[in-house]
Amino acid sequence: MKLEDTSAIVTGGASGLGAATARALAKQGAKVLAMDLGPSIDRAERIEGVTYRVADITSAEDVFQAVAVASASLPLRTVVNCAGILPSARVLSKGAVHDLGVFAKVIEINLVGSFNVLAASAAAIAKTEPDENGQRGVIINTASIAAFEGQVGQIAYASSKAGVVGMTLPAARDLAQYGIRVNSIAPGVVETPMLADISEEFREGLAAGIPFPKRLARPDEFAQLVLAIIDHDYLNGETIRMDGALRMSQR
What region does 250 belong to: left with phi over 0, alpha with psi -120 to 50, or beta?
Answer: alpha
**Active site includes 52?**
no
| Cα 244 versus chain centre, distance | 19
Quote the crossing angle between the two packed helices 113-125 and 155-175, to the nearest 10°.
Answer: 20
Angle between the 16-27 and 219-231 helix axes, to the nearest 10 degrees?
Answer: 50
H or E, element range at 92: strand 92-93
Q: How far apart are CA 14 and CA 43, in angstroms?
A: 8
The residues carrying an active-site annotation are: 157
